Each structure stands twice: as structure tokens, then as C-alpha cells.
A and B are shown apart, each in its own frame.
Chain A
């Protein structure tokens, strides 16, 4: 069964304290893995797309990496404005369906 699991469910960091969010997936053929940021009451905002194992992408304090079974979102020296829920999603080759994890709620304390 195709599925996406994110951990931890919630994470509290002090400002400047780096950490990583995990997204593990099982899918029958991966077309792409996506990371989104979602603020309360708003729609998800696209961050990255990763296509194959070994790929890495960076944007400001965020860096996403991909292996054959999981992806990590590394947050370096986070700031309070990085507080949000981070969602991971995969698109399967079969049927082109999208599967989302339940997210990691990140709180960065000043």
C-alpha cells in the first residue's frame, strides 16, 4: 500500500537550533517527492520537488534530501518565522496519485 509517514509529529526548537524532519514513504514507483509548508488556515505553499535518490535542493535555511525510502528536510539556524506545519507528499507512477503525510508541526521559540 502506498503511504507516507512523517516524524516527528511536532517539534519545538530554540531559535538557531538546527534539526531535521523525516518523511518515509512506500510507493509503487516514485514520480516525485514534494515538500510543502502550511501556515494555520492557509493552503500549502510549495518548497521543493525531488525526483531521484541522491538529489538535494536548498532554499534559504532549508535543505531537502532524498534516498530510496525517505526524505529529510534539514532546517539550519531556524527563526520564529519558520514556524509552520511541513508536509511531505509523493506522486506515484501508477495512476499518478498523490499521497500526503500528516505533517510535522514546527515551533521555533525566540
Chain B
């Protein structure tokens, strides 16, 4: 157990819908990262937050947005969902957001029908 929690574990929804994935980092960690893992593209970095501020941005679609709240939990919002958005979404946390170790959560499996 990495100490990072993600909810829900599974999510099934329809095309065009909007969903919110939630992540609670390890106690004391200030930085949160979001990743998407699909069978054909592997693990893709989406975005990083550090203490509430955006620090780095990957290939995150405009339909996707994220934020980190004052209590340091983070949410990833996915809207106008398409079939291709079906994937495992991982959250990771680290203490400083630099080159320190990232601890990954168990993931949320999103299925878009």
C-alpha cells in the first residue's frame, strides 16, 4: 500500500458525459501527478500540482482539467467523454515535487460506453 488513495476504483459511463476522479496524496506529500494508461499508448503524463499550484503540464486534453485543493487532495475532471478516454487513470504523490520518489495510487479504471 503506497498511502495514495483514489476513488472510485471503477467508473462506467456513456459518451458525452462528465466524471470526476479523486486522489488523496500520502500524508505530508505536497505534490500530485495525474497519468493516463491505455493499452495502446502506455503511461501518459497529464499534469502535476505542487501545493495547489500547477507545476508541469503534459499532453492533457482541453476536455480534461484538474485542481489541487487546500487540503492537498486533487480532482481530475473529464468532460465530453469519448470512447478513447477509456483507460486507467493513476494519481501519484511526492513530498517536494522535484526529483523525489513518486508513489502511485491503485488507479481508477474508466470505461466509456
Q: Which residues of A contact B (CB under 8 A)?
A: 31-32, 34, 41-46, 49, 51, 87, 89, 91, 95-103
Residues of B within 8 A of A34 (CB): 102
In the complex, the answer to whether A46 meets B102 with C-beta atoms within 8 Å is: yes
* B residues with CB within 8 A of A: 2, 4, 33, 35, 42-45, 48, 55-58, 90, 92, 99, 101-107
B90 touches A99 (CB 8 A): no
Task: Give the A-B contact count at a CB cut-off of 8 A.
Answer: 52
Check B43–A87 contact: CB distance below 8 A: yes
B106 with A43: CB separation less than 8 A: yes
Dominant SS among interface residues on chain B: strand
When distances are taken between beta carbons in the complex, the residues of chain A under 8 Å from B105 are: 43
Q: B35: which A residues are within 8 A, CB to CB?
A: 100
User: Which chain A positions have C-beta within 8 A of B57?
Assistant: 95, 97
Cα A40 to Cα B39 in complex, Å, equals 12
Cβ–Cβ contact A102 & B56, under 8 A: no
